Structure 1
Amino acid sequence: MTNTVNPFRLAMRVEGEWWNAYMAPPETMEGATLLATVRMTLVAEKDAKDVYLATVRDLFFRAAEAALGAPIDSFETREAPEHEKAGRA
């Protein structure tokens, strides 16, 4: 199977007491799909946060592959666009 360039991004957002993971288009949250959610208190320690992020990344790759019909071959880590930085929603 040929790898596909990823037209999605993984967006991690703190919303109230929850840390939510979304698969979203590159520059907007419009049409984003919620992949996972966890209480912030459960990932307060670095090791728990690292485990959760690894799991979320795996879910993201699975969701992107399901949406595209082929595995993706890119994953970019970057800061959220300024218009999405509102602190705790």
Structure 2
Amino acid sequence: MANGDEKGKDLYAVLGLKKECTAPELRNAYKKLALRWHPDCCSASGTSEFVEEAKTKLQEIQQAYSFLSDVIKRFLYDIGAYDNDNDKNVSS
């Protein structure tokens, strides 16, 4: 899929950023969201449903950051020429 992942979500939107963001902005957004959604931090709420949601959300955040922090993948994603599904089958 040219849009970034199997759910059709915009990777920039996952991180709350615009396409024109800089590398430091990308890193800062990732750190902020990772701290907010880390399951260990969310477990204080006491509900297992919320912890599972946090795990899922953190995985989305990590995937978006991993993808967008790679200069080549980000460029290809921005022009709509990169299929994120190909990454799942390649070990690096």
Bigger proportion of residues as helix: 2
Q: TM-score range by the shorter chain?
A: 0.3 to 0.5
Calculate the TM-score normalised by the size of structure 1.
0.37
Bigger proportion of residues as strand: 1
Relative CO higher for 1 or 2, CA cutoff 8 Å, sep ≥ 6?
2
Calculate the TM-score normalised by the size of structure 2.
0.36
